[in-house]
Structure 1
C-alpha cells in the first residue's frame, strides 16, 4: 500500500497477483495484528477499503528496505539498461495476465 491512503481488496489482489479470497484472509490477519484497518467505501458499501495503521506504517519501512536490498542483489549482475528492460518486460507480462483488475494467473 505504497503511495495511496487506502485500496480496495480487489485492487490489492490485482497488485499482488493473488486471488481475492486469499487477500481477504491475509488482510483479516493483518487487521488482527493491528497493521491495517478496513472500512466501507463511500461510493459502494459492498466494497471494503484497506489502509495502514500507524503500526502498519512502522512495519512497512524496514520491509521496503529489505525489498530494495533484495532487488539490488538480484539485478547486480546487470547494467542499468538491461535492468530497466527486464522491469519493463515483467510489467508487460503482469499486464498481459491481468484483465479488468482481476488476476487470471
Structure 2
C-alpha cells in the first residue's frame, strides 16, 4: 500500500536543491557576484538561474574559448581588476570564475 509518505529520498533531494537555491540567492546579494553573473549570462546567452556554482562552463552553458576570453575581459573592465585573463585556462565551472574574481578583487 502506497500512502503519501513524506521524508523519502525525493523529499531530501528537493530540500537540498531548495537550500542550495537559497544559498545562491544570498550570494547574489553581493553586488560584485551579481555583476559577474549578469556579465556571464549576457556573454554566454543564458539565464542567471543557469549559473549554478557547479555548472560546467562548456558542457552545461555552451561556452567556448572565445566566450570565456570575453567574460574575462569584460569582468576585468567592469570590476576594474587585473589578472582574470590569466586564470581562464583553469575555469571549468561557474564557481571557478567566482573564485578568481574574489581572489583578484581581494588582492587589488
- Relative to the length of structure 1, the TM-score reads 0.28
Structure showing the higher strand proportion among its residues: 1
User: Max radius of gyration: which structure?
Assistant: 2
- Relative to the length of structure 2, the TM-score reads 0.28
Which structure has more RCO (C-alpha within 8 Å, separation ≥ 6)?
Answer: 1
